[in-house]
Structure 1
Amino acid sequence: MTELHFAPALFERLARDSAASPGVTRPSYGAGEQHAHDLVAEAAASLGMEKRVDAAGNMLLTLPGADRSRVLLLGSHVDTVPHGGNYDGLAGVLAGLEVAAGFVRGGRTPAVDIGVVALRAEESVWFPVSYIGSKTALGILPQEALAARRFDSGMTLGEHIREAGFDPEGVARGEKLIDPARIAGFVELHIEQGPHLISEGIVLGVVDGIRGSIRYREARCLGAYAHSGAVPRKWRHDAVVASAELVTRLDALWVELEEQGHDLTLTVGQLYTDAEQHAFAKVAGECRICIDVRSRSTDTLALVDERLKALCEEIAAARRVRFELGPRTGSTPAPMDERMQARLAEAAEALGVSWRRMSSGAGHDAATFALAGVPSVMLFVRNENGSHNPDEHMEMDDFAKAVAVMRRMASDFA
């Protein structure tokens, strides 16, 4: 379909260099993330691309076009979740690099600048903040986010930015990597994170929207510790039983709302007692809960938040416990640009590559660009084993087809 100049070797190199069995680990503002940036920059330098790095460490690699007043951005992030896969994020950056390489090796000048962005800190598992890289690149990260602490190091985002050699004060001032008014469009290639494309035998997904989220990362159910043999059921304040009821009631709520036509996912990703306090022969006095709600509809998110709080009150009264949801974080749903969707679809049709329209259940940097008024779109490549796990799998032939579609779109861009 199309020749790949850098991607296979870089995928292999970074899988080896980032190995953390099982899978790979490139923490946000860690050595692995920086190593990936360095390797991508080295490849771009061989193509004669211009390089800029902003106060947060986001990198923009530019292939000059005939019209230098506008830029078509291609890219994603390179950090991973702990023990994740090698393609999530990285594939989008390397796809952009391959598009630029096609112009250079073919001796052609694009109509507008081609900008390849390698963004920082997209995986919010490291810091409790959504879309750090894209928000800093656009100069819109709230100053208070710099005080967020990375879960493993305990250091703040600002401290990590400084330790990596960048400028948290510049981030606080809202310095931008690029003016949104210059961006003609943003395309983020990504492996699909669910089973749809692979199960349907379709290579590519053109994304029409990205779900927003509500997250309670530090929720707790507080009851009372007691002896497991000496305290009857009617006198217990059992945090585990109350938490389990909340989980099952939330699952029933999901079924109810989905039957009503709501777009929704609802996940309790963590549910655990305090290992230092709890024991085999104790009624649990505390249970910690992590709740993740996602939807394309802000109204649905608001409805679930309201119903969640009502459930907490109801269960707390019945079980004689107290729920503390803690800080709420999240993101806003983002529709993708219809014209950008059409451009990708037209390119796929012209090249005979199978595709379908679909939504993204997960969050991506493209949401930040879209909500900032930048015409944005995502292109999914089928992936057999989902993402955020060591078994991510993408065929290089499928990746090459996706690059060919992006390259044709970029060639026709005006």
Structure 2
Amino acid sequence: MTMMEPDMALAESLFAQLRADSFDGVGITRDTYGPGEQAAHDLLAQTARDLGLEIRRDAALNLYLTLPGQDRQAPAVMTGSHLDSVPRGGNYDGAAGVVAGMAVLAGWVRAGVRPARDVTVMGVRAEESAWFPVSYVGSKAAFGLLDAAALAARRADTQRALSDHLATLGGNPQAVARGEAALRPEALDCFVELHIEQGPVLIGEGDTLGVVTGICGSHRYRQAQVLGRYAHSGAAPRGHRSDAVVALATLIARLQDAWRDMEAAGHELTLTFGQVYTDAQQADFSKVPGQVSFCVDIRSRDTNSLRQMDAHVQGIAAELEAAHGVRFDWGATSGSQPAIMDERLQAALHAAADAIGAPSRSMPSGAGHDAATFSNQGVPTAMLFVRNAHGSHNPDEALDMRDFTAATRVLGQVLGLRAGIARAGAPIAS
């Protein structure tokens, strides 16, 4: 091992403490702008304090942990990810990227290495939109892009506004609403985010690491409904029904066909109906359902594919309204823009993986990540996936520490190159 190996003992300790602080009896819950996420931020800040790093928070309470460089005015190298989780999720989604960055900096600190430019690990707030119906809250706020409407969004469980949660923890929602930016694209050399893979590709193909080519954008209907008419299940003949469930089932079936046709035509996208439910108080075994709620999540790296699938959604729904005597109420929409990863950074990640013998492959990210915000602001951006059994957003995330060590070494090598460290243990002279 070289003198600049990442501190993997620290990484294991951080993972263990994060789990201890946020285990809910079933999985991991680090609630956005709540006690769970805050405990994680406090832990990482204390770790940075112990290492002698600079600690800064912005108006949205994003956390910046910096090893100062020789030239404090040069654009900074940045890595990191989010520290919140979905309810009853896993311990590694998001947190792995922050822990990896801290392990790299800890190794440098203990080796006495000072980079040519600042290197910052960012603990991003509020990436998981399961809590608030807004994509990339923390990273958008960091660039001054989060508007007043987003701050008014209510958390799914507490029904308190985002601004209220932020203020309670000591943030400044007024400054966020004014668009006061903590980050400027021209002040950043790059952003590299390490993250567990959230699907089965790397495990299935036998690769350890994935170098992300692009991040999918999304178009979402979070609170849609089909409104029909309740009727007696025995007394209402088929031709006299306005059955909301049948209308929605037909929509789902026809959109599966549309999705298949689009894939055959070369489109790359996904379509998901993640929630479908009738009113527990009104629906009944002996009633024709007059209302059903659902959500739609469309994702693609191509905005044209997003628009085309949404056109199918709206066109088919209009036909079904006439055929079934129902009405589709779509509610508010939300979504995010696709993002392309920097080709030079992709090549550097592949080269670093090759150098340590870690099998890697190029692949898209179907899930959204804060790296998309950085890329769309013009910052050279890359993502490194590390394989993970059992997917993510569930308690069974299973990150092998040998794989994580390989990924952290690759991350450290690329950060070092960008920060002015020519090779392990040898800083470039200023």
Aligned 8 A contact 1:122 1:131 in 2: yes
Q: Name the structure 2 match of 1:227.
A: 232
1:235-250 aligned at under 5 Å gives the runs 235-250=240-255
1:10 and 2:25 matched: no
Of 346-355 and 211-220, deviating more is: 346-355
TM-score (norm 2): 0.95
Task: Show the counterpart of 1:82.
Answer: 87
- Residue 48 of structure 1 aligns with an amino acid whose one-letter code is G
Kindly indicate whether the alpha-carbon contact (under 8 Å) linking 1:60 and 1:177 is maintained by their aligned counterparts in 2. Answer: no
- Equivalence for 2:61: 57
* Separation in 2, partners of 1:361, 1:188: 15
Q: Secondary structure at the match of 1:326?
A: coil
Partner of 2:423: none
Comparing 5-14 and 399-408, the one that deviates more: 5-14
Q: Structure 1, residues 142-195: CA drift from partner, whole Å, max 9, x if none?
A: 221110000100001101101111110011111222222111000110000010
Counterparts of residues 281-296 of structure 1 (less than 5 Å): 281-296=286-301
C-alpha displacement of 1:5: 3.7
Give 1:386's aligned residue: 391
Given the two structures, how large is their TM-score scaled by the length of structure 1?
0.98
State the shift of 1:132 in Å: 0.2
Alignment equivalent of 1:101, drawn from 86, 92, 106: 106
* 1:111 to partner: Cα distance: 2.3
**Residue 301 of structure 2 aligns to which amino acid in structure 1?**
R
Within the candidate set 144, 147, 159, 1:142 is matched to 147
Aligned partner of 1:100: which letter?
Answer: L
* Aligned AA (2:75): R
Q: Give 1:270's aligned residue.
A: 275
Aligned amino acid, residue 71 of structure 1: A
1:369 corresponds to: 374
C-alpha deviation, 1:197, in angstroms? 0.4
SS at match of 1:308: helix
Please state if 1:218 is matched with 2:251: no
The partner residue of 2:323 within 318, 323, 345 is 318
Report whether the alignment pairs 1:257 with 2:235.
Answer: no
Per mean C-alpha deviation after superposition, the further-off stretch among 235-244 and 8-17 is: 8-17
Which whole-Å CA distance do the structure 2 matches of 1:15 and 1:251 have between them? 39
Report SS of the residue matched to 2:345: helix
Q: Is the 8 A contact 1:27 1:33 kept in 2?
A: yes
244-253 vs 27-36, which moves further: 244-253
Distance, in Å, in 1 between the alignment partners of 2:280 and 2:336 is 32
Residue type of the alignment partner of 2:260? V
Q: Which moved more, 1:49-58 or 1:62-71?
A: 62-71
Q: Hey, what's the Cα distance between the residues in 1 that align with 2:416 and 2:172?
A: 36
Residue 386 of structure 1: CA displacement?
Answer: 0.5
**Does structure 1 residue 32 correspond to structure 2 residue 39?**
no
1:24-59: CA deviation from partner (whole Å, max 9, x where unpaired): 111110101000001111111111100110111101
Q: Residue 119 of structure 1 contacts residue 134 of structure 1 at CA under 8 Å; is this kept in 2?
A: yes
Alignment partner, residue 167 of structure 1? 172
**Segments of 4+ in structure 1 off by > 4 A?**
none
Instruction: Tell me what 1:20 maps to.
Output: 24
TM superposition shift of 1:221: 0.3
* One-letter amino acid of the structure 2 residue matched with residue 104 of structure 1: V
Other-structure match for 2:426: none
Deviation for aligned residue 1:303: 0.5
Structure 1: 5+ residue stretches without partners? none
1:149–1:156 CA contact under 8 A, matched in 2:
yes
The partner residue of 1:66 within 47, 55, 70 is 70
Which secondary structure state, in structure 2, belongs to the residue aligned with residue 175 of structure 1? coil
Are 2:409 and 1:404 equivalent residues in the alignment? Answer: yes
Q: 1:59 is aligned with what amino acid?
A: L
- Deviation per residue, 1:255-284 (Å, 9 max, x gap): 111111100100000001011111111110
- Paired with 1:401 and 1:309, the residues of 2 have a C-alpha distance of 46
Distance 1:149 1:386 in 2: 28
User: Residues of 1 paired with 2:277 and 2:116: CA distance?
Assistant: 55
Deviates more, 1:201-210 or 1:2-11: 2-11
Where does residue 340 of structure 2 map in the other structure? 335
In structure 1, distance between residues paired with 2:83 and 2:299: 23
Partner of 2:428: none
Counterpart of 2:75 in 1: which secondary structure?
A: strand
Out of 161, 175, 183, the position equivalent to 1:178 is 183
Q: The residue matched to 2:31 in structure 1 has which SS?
A: coil
Between the aligned partners of 1:218 and 1:394, the Cα distance in structure 2 is 34
The CA deviation string for residues 208-266 of structure 1, in whole angstroms up to 9 with x for no partner, is: 10000000001110000000111111100000111111111111111111111100100
Q: Over the residues paired in the alignment, what is the CA RMSD in angstroms?
A: 1.0
Counterpart among 34, 46, 51 of residue 47 in structure 1: 51
**1:198–1:383 contact (8 Å) kept in structure 2:** yes
Secondary structure in 1 matching 2:394: coil
The CA deviation string for residues 85-108 of structure 1, in whole angstroms up to 9 with x for no partner, is 010000001111111111111111
